[in-house]
Structure formats: C-alpha cells, structure tokens
Amino acid sequence: MDIQIKHAKLLERNFSNYNEIIDSMLLLRLKRWRLTCAKQKNVPAFIILHNKDLYMIVKSKPDSLEALSNLEGFGNKRVEQYGKKILELIEQHKAKILSTVSMY
C-alpha cells in the first residue's frame, strides 16, 4: 500500500475518533446539566430530557431556538423551558474545544 494512502487512512480514522470524543464530551456536559436540573425540580432526569433527545442535540448541534424546535420532541414548551440553556451549553462546549485546539 502506498505510504500516502496508508497515512491518509490513519488520519481519517483518528479524525473520526476525535469527533466521537468531542461529541461524547458534549453529551456528558448535557447529561450533567440535566441531572442538576432534575435534582432542582425533584424529578427523574428523563422527565427533563430523554437520552434520545440528548443524542439528537449532540448530533445536530442546533445554533438557534428555531433549529432546536425543529428537532423531534422539542415543542414550544420544552424550547421555552430549556432552549436557551441548551444553546448556551453547546456554545460553551464549542468555545472550550476551540481554545483547546488553538493551544496546539
């Protein structure tokens, strides 16, 4: 196998893993927020958001309340209750990743 092709495949695999790690970090951030919110309201975490909702957020990374409201299960009430905080968490996550990458 040509060394350039081998190197490109290795980079592609590592980049894929890197994106998975970044997404996992956002998922963890969202889960921590959900747990805190659930404790404050004295309800189970799934009442705030189901795991599938968190996965949709991580996958789509909405950048506006409108984009968030386009996700399945995010009606007006849910967007009104949690939308701004979810977008804030996504932005904080992006800023953290950018600051980490710019260090190198």
Q: Give the residue, 94 or 17, on which the prediction is more confident.
A: 94
* pLDDT tens sequence across 13-41: 555 667 787 888 899 999 999 999 999 99
pTM: 0.79
What CATH topology corresponds to 3-102?
DNA polymerase; domain 1 (1.10.150)
Q: What is the residue extent of each domain of the chain?
A: 3-102
Tally of CB atoms within 10 A around 34: 22
What is the model's pLDDT at position 84?
A: 97
Q: Which ranges constitute the DSSP H helices of 42-64?
A: 45-48, 51-60
What is the model's pLDDT at position 8?
A: 46
What is the model's pLDDT at position 16?
A: 60
Q: How many CA atoms lie within 13 A of 9 on its CB side?
A: 6
The residues, any chain, with a CB within 8 Å of residue 40's CB and separated by 6 or more, are none
* pLDDT tens sequence across 51-84: 999 999 999 999 999 999 999 989 999 999 999 9
What is the model's pLDDT at position 23?
A: 87
